[in-house]
Chains A and B, each alone.
Chain A
Amino acid sequence: MGANQLFFEDVKVGGALPMLVKHPSNVELFRFSAMTWNAHRIHYDKIYAQSEGYPDVLVQSHLHGSFLLQTVTDWIGPRGRVLGFRWQNRGIAIPGDVLTCTGKVVKAEAGVVECELEERNQKGELCAPGWARVELPRRS
Chain B
Amino acid sequence: MSVSIPAVYEKVKAAVGKTERVKLGTIRERDFQRFAIAAGNLNPLFFDDAAAKAAGYPATIAPPLYLSSVMVWELGPPEDSMRADGTAGQETVGLPVEGVRLMGGGQELEFHYPVTDGMEVTMEVGPEHVELKEGRSGQFLVITLTRRYRDQNDRLLVTCRENFIAR
Binding site for B on A (CB under 8 A): 1, 22, 28, 31-32, 34-42, 45, 48, 61-63, 65-67, 69-70, 73-74, 78-79, 81-89, 128
Contacts and interface: CB of A to CB of B under 8 A. Distances in A.
Interface of B: 31, 34-35, 37-41, 43-45, 51-52, 54-56, 63-65, 68-73, 76, 82, 85-88, 91, 103-111, 163
Contact of A128 (B76, B91, B106): B106
Contacts of B82: 39
Contact of B64 (A28, A37, A69, A79): A69
Given A85-B108, A88-B106, 7 more contacts: A31-B37, A39-B88, A40-B71, A48-B85, A73-B45, A74-B43, A84-B108
A41 B31 contact: no
A47 to B, nearest CB: 12
Nearest to A73: B43
Contacts, number: 116
A57 B97 CA distance: 24
A34 B68 CA distance: 15
Considering residues B69, B76, B103, which has the most beta carbons from chain A within 10 angstroms of its beta carbon?
B69
A41 B86 contact: yes
Nearest to A74: B43
Nearest to A67: B39
A34 B86 contact: no
4 closest pairs, A vs B, by CB? A41-B86, A88-B106, A78-B55, A31-B38
B86 to A, nearest CB: 4
Contact of A36 (B35, B43, B56, B85): B35
Contacts of A67: 39
Contacts of A34: 38
Contacts of A41: 85-86
Contacts of B106: 61, 65, 86-89, 128
Nearest to A61: B104
A63 to B, nearest CB: 6
Contacts of A83: 110-111
Considering residues A42, A70, A87, A128, which has the most beta carbons from chain B within 10 angstroms of its beta carbon?
A70
A93 to B, nearest CB: 14
A73 B45 CA distance: 10
Nearest to A63: B39
A37 B107 contact: no
A39 B31 CA distance: 17
A87 B160 CA distance: 12
